[in-house]
Amino acid sequence: MSVVQIFPRADEPAAQALVNPVAGPREAAASSEKRPGKPAAADLPPGSEPYPLDRAFHAMLARFTGGISPVALSLAWLDWSSHLAASPQRQMAMSRNILHDVGRFMEVAAHAASHEPWSVIQPQGRDRRFSQPQWEVPPFNLLAQAFLLGQRWWHDATTGVRGVSRANEAIVEFSVRQMLDMLAPSNFAATNPEVLEKAFQSGGENFVFGWQNWCSDLMRPLAVSRPVADAQFMVGETVATSPGKVVHRNELMELIQYHPTTARVRPEPILIVPAWIMKYYILDLSPQNSLVSYLTAQGFTVFAISWRNPDAKDRDVAFDDYRKLGVMAALDTIGRIMPERKTHALGYCLGGTLLSIAAAAMARDGDRRLGTISLLAAQTDFTEAGELTLFINESQVAFLEDMMWQRGYLDTAQMAGAFALLRSNDLIWSRLSHDYLMGESTAPSDLMAWNADATRLPYRMHSEYLRKLFLNNDLAAGRYRVEDRTVSLSDIHTPMFVVGTLADHVAPWRSVYKVHYQADADVTFLLTSGGHNAGVVAPPDEPGHSYQVMTTAADAPYVGPDEWLKLAPRVEGSWWPEWAGWLAARSGAPCDPPRIGFRDSSDLPEAPGDYVHT
């Protein structure tokens, strides 16, 4: 027997049988035949995954790293440190900068005994950790200023190093920022004057209450019954209460038709396509915060998709299944209830991306059922998708795939953790100080209760989403395929209303704005105050909202986002009436309300349905 026979190549059938003893010769041969195309892991049939022991090891490792690839992180740091080591003049400049900052700090600190407010550096952006007057007196102003100077030095050190790739630079800067934020003086009782003052006034009660808050949060996932604060916002009782009925159900979604609240309604229905990384009732919270209730009050017939929360059995659900069983199935059902009427389609976040793909495929195939398309904080180009792209590179995606491969889905903890890291000051460290050190409890809200009602993502779907959209940007590049044919957003000629939010960390508004040069349609772009969720949930009675809006015709010259920001007029108030007026101008005269469902949907439940509870 030759050495070649004893040690076959790893991509030959014999070696595949050794690596994957569960797979037989047929599976091993199939695996070797797939080598030229190198399909994504999610495209492989069960039992033919390459190197399952490696994938199991990566999945185990992910439990200790929170789903972050240590290889991706190491490569980014190696890229930065290697280029910095080869830049002696840059190192000298960094040394000069820190000596200058230390000298200035010592000079001003010498006068700190006067107990007068002083400042060497101001916090950047929305940083409110040191905004209270207690931080203006020594020694706490010394701690805050030293921290901010160190934070600025590290930002300068990790950015602008010549030769470092932009992606690796962003990872290094982000990870350094996370470590520094963890060490901020506001996070420790002994160095936080607000905490010390509260302890003095309360006789230390704040620490007792903080301990209770910590224990409550720790036991929350194990509790059989919901905490009292959460019980204030129960689905179907205090949130998601708009009256309606499930009129269609399949293995992936329930379609809810809401009852009209006006005597006459517009003939064109509205279809809401939410993201499946969230429960649909973000748009049907408490009655005063419900977009669904607002739309029905404006005389619209509203339908909404409620996605089922997937589990391990749904590991092979593909991204296109959400299009077919979601958007297209909903349109088919609406067509049966309200025949020969165009639909106003609304997509939120990932649901907006899905709606864009579905609309492009419909336009390609001559399907004219959409009257308008509205996108809320939804991206169609992912080259500038904000800090979320820090978690998206080949190494990280492969690591996530291995983690999901073992479970069959992406767990809620990994997704919630990634989003929390993007706003760690607001969502992690400020809560530590407020809830655990100050001993105060945050007043519950419907939006907070919804945010805690997390969902899972199927293995195959999420792998395809990350690779085809985030990693390869196939949709913007004209490579995305639906039913084995490419689709292009330039085929869309339907009027569009696109909403971006000013402080969005998930879908930055400049990224959302790119739809202007992708779709061949009249685009009304609206930029509203607030973030990804709070900016969208903006009821008219709630103060503090404002927006800018401007329409660009399909044949008009392109206006860049910065120019648009200067040209678009600013309006105080909620953007909901602006959108409702835009829809009304593109709708027919009011008529009698349509029927609710049809006979074969009579045995389906009333809104909010069953899937929202999964």
The 10s digit of each residue's pLDDT in 437-457 is 998 887 788 998 898 888 999
Binned at pLDDT 50, 70 and 90, residue 4 comes out as: very low
Q: Rounded mean pLDDT of 105-123?
A: 71
Answer for the pair 32, 16: CB distance below 8 angstroms, yes or no.
yes
Rounded Cα distance, 282 and 448, in Å = 10
- pLDDT at res. 422: 60
In tens, the pLDDT along 451-475 reads 888 899 999 999 999 999 999 999 9
Q: Rounded mean pLDDT of 483-490?
A: 97
Is the confidence at residue 43, as pLDDT, over 80? no
- 391 inside domain: no
Q: Which of 62, 317, 349, 359 is catalytic?
A: 349
**Same domain flag for 96 and 28:** no
Q: Rounded mean pLDDT of 568-574?
A: 97
Q: Rounded mean pLDDT of 20-24?
A: 42
- pLDDT at res. 223: 54
- pLDDT at res. 117: 60
- pLDDT at res. 20: 45
Q: Rounded mean pLDDT of 210-222?
A: 80
Binned at pLDDT 50, 70 and 90, residue 420 comes out as: low
Rounded Cα distance, 372 and 224, in Å = 45
- pLDDT at res. 234: 92
**Same domain flag for 43 and 83:** no
- pLDDT at res. 15: 44
Among 69, 88, 112, the domain boundary falls at 69
Q: Rounded mean pLDDT of 52-81?
A: 85
192 contacts: CB under 8 Å, gap ≥ 6:
140, 185, 186, 433, 437
Rounded Cα distance, 613 and 380, in Å = 30
User: In 10 A of CB 16, how many CB atoms?
Assistant: 24
Rounded Cα distance, 359 and 354, in Å = 9
- 451 inside domain: no
Binned at pLDDT 50, 70 and 90, residue 411 comes out as: confident
- 269 inside domain: yes
**Same domain flag for 27 and 114:** no
Is the confidence at residue 280, as pLDDT, over 60? yes
**Same domain flag for 370 and 291:** yes
Answer for the pair 482, 509: CB distance below 8 angstroms, yes or no.
no
Q: Which two tokens stand for residue 500?
A: 């971006």
Rounded Cα distance, 580 and 586, in Å = 10
- N residues, the chain: 614
Among 44, 69, 94, the domain boundary falls at 69
Q: Rounded mean pLDDT of 324-341?
A: 97
- Identify the H or E element spanning 137: none
Question: Which residue, 563, 350, 361, 549, is CA-closest to 465?
Answer: 350
pTM attached to this predicted model: 0.86
Question: Which residue, 267, 258, 331, is CA-closest to 296?
Answer: 258
**Same domain flag for 261 and 361:** yes
Rounded Cα distance, 5 and 346, in Å = 60
- 499 inside domain: yes
Q: Which residue has 């419909």 as its token pair? A: 362
Q: Rounded mean pLDDT of 599-609?
A: 89
- 608 inside domain: yes
- pLDDT at res. 28: 40
- pLDDT at res. 47: 45
349 catalytic per annotation: yes
In tens, the pLDDT along 187-198 reads 999 999 999 999
Answer for the pair 13, 25: CB distance below 8 angstroms, yes or no.
yes
Binned at pLDDT 50, 70 and 90, residue 16 comes out as: very low
Q: Rounded mean pLDDT of 163-181?
A: 91
**Same domain flag for 523 and 544:** yes
Percent of the chain past pLDDT 90, that is, above it, reads: 63
Binned at pLDDT 50, 70 and 90, residue 433 comes out as: confident
**Same domain flag for 59 and 166:** no
Among 15, 38, 69, the domain boundary falls at 69
438 contacts: CB under 8 Å, gap ≥ 6:
194, 195, 198, 206, 210
- 228 inside domain: no
Residue 140: give the domain boundaries. Answer: 71-183
**Same domain flag for 169 and 315:** no
Q: Tell me the CATH number at 500.
A: 3.40.50.1820
- pLDDT at res. 221: 62
Q: Rounded mean pLDDT of 199-208?
A: 92
Answer for the pair 289, 447: CB distance below 8 angstroms, yes or no.
yes
**Same domain flag for 609 and 490:** yes
**Same domain flag for 279 and 289:** yes
Is the confidence at residue 9, as pLDDT, over 60? no
Q: Rounded mean pLDDT of 11-35?
A: 42
- pLDDT at res. 600: 76
Binned at pLDDT 50, 70 and 90, residue 488 comes out as: very high
Least confident of 170-174, 329-333, 384-388: 384-388
Binned at pLDDT 50, 70 and 90, residue 116 comes out as: low
**Same domain flag for 173 and 88:** yes
**Same domain flag for 582 and 507:** yes
- 423 inside domain: no
481: left (phi over 0), alpha (psi -120 to 50) or beta: beta
Q: What is the mean pLDDT of the chain?
A: 87
Domain count, the chain: 3
- 329 inside domain: yes
Binned at pLDDT 50, 70 and 90, residue 276 comes out as: very high
- pLDDT at res. 118: 62
